[in-house]
Amino acid sequence: MDFQAGQTLYFDKPFGLTSFQVVGRVRWQLCHALGVKKLKVGHAGTLDPLATGVLIVCTGRATKEIEKLQYQTKEYVATLRLGATTPSYDLEHPIDKTYPTEHITRQLVESTLKKFLGRIEQIPPQYSACKVDGKRAYDAARKGVEVELKPKVLQIDEIELLDYCMPDITIRVVCSKGTYIRALARDIGVALDSGAHLTALRRTRVGDVRVEDCLDPTDFGTWLEKQEIEKTY
């Protein structure tokens, strides 16, 4: 394998690590194996630290393909807790508001989910990497400053209820690039006349790559030792 010329790798990102941290570990191990000080490594499609699943990592000249890879359809399995919201719409922040859930039935959830099929508009979360006036939205949010984020047009190809166990529901979503599942949870909560936030999120597929086919980053060093590595000097 020629990592300097370019390779595309697929990892199952663990809970708690940022996408950048996974890239950093991969770069360090590759540089060590290749005996070089620098190697271009990047990822296609960021996963939040509290999310797990498919993370595409490109090396060398393959990093030029990152933009194209980001446009692939993605599939997620998400668990939402109804009746409560957090500022980040996930477990990064504590609950800030609670809402009634007594009126929510399985039938209501299923019919509500159907409203999100097709082309939708979504306002990104305040705690997101979206840029406003050249600055990341999450930087302003962490300073207590709310910025105006414009809605984006997205495509939801599939959305289904996998499990209903109030106050938690688990859904499967197949969607386009740029979809924030945290924001989708927020909007589902509003559509149910309640509130919602993510308690678990797993990206199960990117394009044709499924999470079952991915490497565990903690096993990457062992896997690397078994490969025939080409070195370019």
Dihedrals φ, ψ of 49, to 5°? -55, -35
Beta strands in 100-210 (DSSP E): 118-122, 131-132, 135-136, 152-165, 168-175, 196-206, 209-210
Identify residue 182 by its one-letter amino acid code: R
User: Using the 8-state DSSP alphabet, how is residue 196 labeled?
Assistant: E
Half-sphere exposure of 153 (CA within 13 A, CB side): 2
Classify strands 74-82 and 51-60 as parallel, antiparallel or unpaired: unpaired
Beta strands 41-44; 168-175: pairing state: unpaired
Catalytic residues: 48
C-alpha span between 172 and 218 (Å, rounded): 27
